Amino acid sequence: MGRCPCFGSRKKEKEKNLNGREDEEDDVNNLKSVGSASVSGRSLEPKSEATPAENIDGSNKAEIFTFRELATATKNFRDETFIGQGGFGTVYKGKLDKTNQMVAVKRLDTTGVQGEKEFLVEVLMLSLLHHPNLVSMIGYCAEGDQRLLVYEYMPLGSLESHLHDLFPDKEPLDWNTRMMIAAGAARGLNYLHHEAKPTVIYRDLKSANILLDERFNPKLSDFGLAKFGPTGDQSYVATRVMGTHGYCAPEYATTGKLTMRSDIYSFGVVLLELITGRRAYDDTRVHDKHLVEWARPLLRERSNYPKLADPHLQGHFPISGLRMAIEMACMCLREEPRHRPGAGDIVLALDYLSAKQYVPKVSGTITMGSMEIGDSPKEPTMILPILPKDALREQAVAEAKQWGETWREKRKQSYENSPEEIRT
């Protein structure tokens, strides 16, 4: 991870990327050609304000707002409506007068070329992409030199805000919620990689870009750096290195060759964040600034796995579930891209983990794998039968062995296959 020296704040990225823009210009041109049906042949200039931009499937519409409407919705962008600083812009909470709908309004910084391009890429990407685990775009404003994006409002904010620098009155995420968030984010990534047409490489997967609704359901956001996947015989997309420090796949940082497995590496970092509660990169630390570098020595021995668990969990996690989650993160973080799992395999594994609800142990309880079932009359009755303790232990061991054998078999097959077969 130390091989990502070109990464810093998004503002620094903008300054660095004013030169050598040919690949980004190609991206915008490609997006315009692919998204021509989604915007009904209309440009994103102010003259088209009277007509909404239709999505490619015609089932949703991206509304075109005037600047006055969005200024009114956000109380003229007052500090009290400020939500946070996003990529190349500031995000505000607003309420649309016409519908009383709560929204998030991102006002882009268009003083540089990159902000304008991010606006075009994000509008056209979100006109093409629709999935329960992707944030929905409601509309945009392209009036004069103003560039604003309007999204559905995610009341619980970003995953990052629930993992790091918690206020004393803020409850940390429990184990079940963390695994649910990981599984949902994986489903969103799988959609981009394998279900979207054309396929998309996210390129900026991080905890700050995973937003949470009122039930902690995760949605991927901020698609300004997204790229269409390789086509034809190509196995990668050649591009300038962009992203966020701590999440960058090493092969992408050194070569600029972007693949779907680059996103998988970033997902592994996010999963490690969920497990450990540590930042992907923390420049406030004197040592061990990079999460992956700090974790690698501990990942060599299973006996060290509990040391990786977030102290905020206070020991309330299933040992077997922790081991499985760490092993999945290890697979995603492999140095060799072709040996990393695909997004579909990650979804299967994390759906399995998130389905095994963990209940913290109380007096008079017995454990079944990653579940603990209380026999107190005050506890709600569980659907699963209460089996003898030895039988429960044997069942848990069998489940863990089956999970491990499945992944060992997948790993063996990946080594036997040729690189050409694996890289897609």
Question: Residue 91 forms beta bridges with which residues?
Answer: 84, 106
116 and 234 in a single domain? The answer is no
Residue of 97, 165, 174, 204 marked active site: 204
Show the tokens assigned to 335. Answer: 């140095």
pLDDT grade, residue 383 (50/70/90)? Answer: very low
Phi, psi at residue 157, to the nearest 5°?
75, -155
Q: Is 197 annotated as a binding residue?
A: no
Reported as a single tens digit per residue, the pLDDT across 208-237 is 999 999 999 999 999 988 999 888 778 888
CATH number reported for the structural domain that contains residue 63 in this entry: 3.30.200.20
R_g of the chain computed on alpha carbons:
23
Q: Where is 118: in which H helix or E strand?
A: helix 113-128
DSSP state of 136: P
User: Strands, E, within 308-370: which ranges?
Assistant: 365-368
- Domain containing 174 equals 159-422
Q: Which of 312, 341, 314 is nearest to 329 (CA)?
A: 341
Measured between alpha carbons, how far is 379 from 399 in angstroms, rounded to an integer? 26
User: How many CB atoms within 10 Å of residue 91?
Assistant: 21
Q: Are 130 and 136 in contact (CB under 8 A)?
A: yes
Asked whether residue 364 is assigned to any structural domain, the reply reads yes
Asked whether residue 22 is assigned to any structural domain, the reply reads no
Q: Choose from 63-77, 97-111, 217-231 the range with maximum mean pLDDT.
A: 63-77
> What was the pLDDT predicted at 238?
84
End of a domain among 122, 152, 182? Answer: 152
| Residues whose CB is less than 8 angstroms from the CB of residue 23 and which lie 6 or more positions away in sequence, other chains included | 238, 239, 240
Asked whether residue 12 is assigned to any structural domain, the reply reads no
End of a domain among 106, 136, 152? Answer: 152
Report the predicted TM-score, pTM, of the whole model to 2 decimal places. 0.76
Asked whether residue 17 is assigned to any structural domain, the reply reads no
End of a domain among 114, 137, 152? Answer: 152
Reported as a single tens digit per residue, the pLDDT across 300-339 is 999 999 999 999 999 999 999 999 999 999 999 999 999 9
- The predicted model gives 43-68 an average pLDDT of 57
- The predicted model gives 103-107 an average pLDDT of 95
Give the count of domains, the chain.
2
Asked whether residue 11 is assigned to any structural domain, the reply reads no
102 and 200 in a single domain? The answer is no
* Amino acid at residue number 76: N
- Is 204 an active-site residue? yes
Q: Are 210 and 135 in contact (CB under 8 A)?
A: no
CATH number reported for the structural domain that contains residue 351 in this entry: 1.10.510.10
